[in-house]
Amino acid sequence: MTPAIAAPALANRANAIEVFHALSDETRLAVVEMLRGGERCVCDLQDALDAAQSRLSFHLRVLKDAGLVTDRKEGRWSYYSLNAERLAEASEVLSVFAKPVGRTSSPTLHPLARGSRGGARAADTTPKARRVTDDGRGGCC
């Protein structure tokens, strides 16, 4: 069973995947970096990134679908800005992964993983699924 992610809006694994996929591209990261300074016109983004309109539109759509940016129209111009709440949720998810889960002590090595003092290691004939570590936990190593 997979532990639940603490951030409410990204608790759904599909939402988290969408957000981190959106952040996994160099162009999209550049857009996010530019928007940190505040709202920008799409023409400013296009000029700064030296990107074709169709390419930039694709990347903005990915960021928007992931909820990381919002847009507004003013006449024929589109302005984009960061959705700070969604970025904060992504940050919460990362902080959850940075914390150890359920271990109160450091892992104990399997006796055969330590090697024997006599030099030669004994052959391990125990199937991987049935191995047990010193502390009684099952494991593959």
What pTM was estimated for this model as a whole?
0.63
Task: Identify the CA nearest to 45 among candidates 83, 78, 85, 87.
Answer: 78
Q: How far apart are CA 129 and CA 119, in angstroms?
A: 27
What is the chain's mean pLDDT, rounded? 77
5 three-class SS: coil
State the residue for tokens 């992931």: 66
Q: Which two tokens stand for residue 136?
A: 């009684």
Please give the average per-residue pLDDT across 67-84, as a whole number: 95
Task: Give 3's contacts (C-beta < 8 A, 6+ positions apart).
Answer: 101
Q: How far apart are CA 132 and CA 139, in angstroms?
A: 6
Q: Which two tokens stand for residue 38?
A: 């505040």
**Does the domain at residues 13-98 carry the CATH identifier 1.10.10.10?**
yes
pLDDT of residue 51: 92
pLDDT of residue 95: 83
Q: How far apart are CA 35 and CA 60, in angstroms?
A: 12
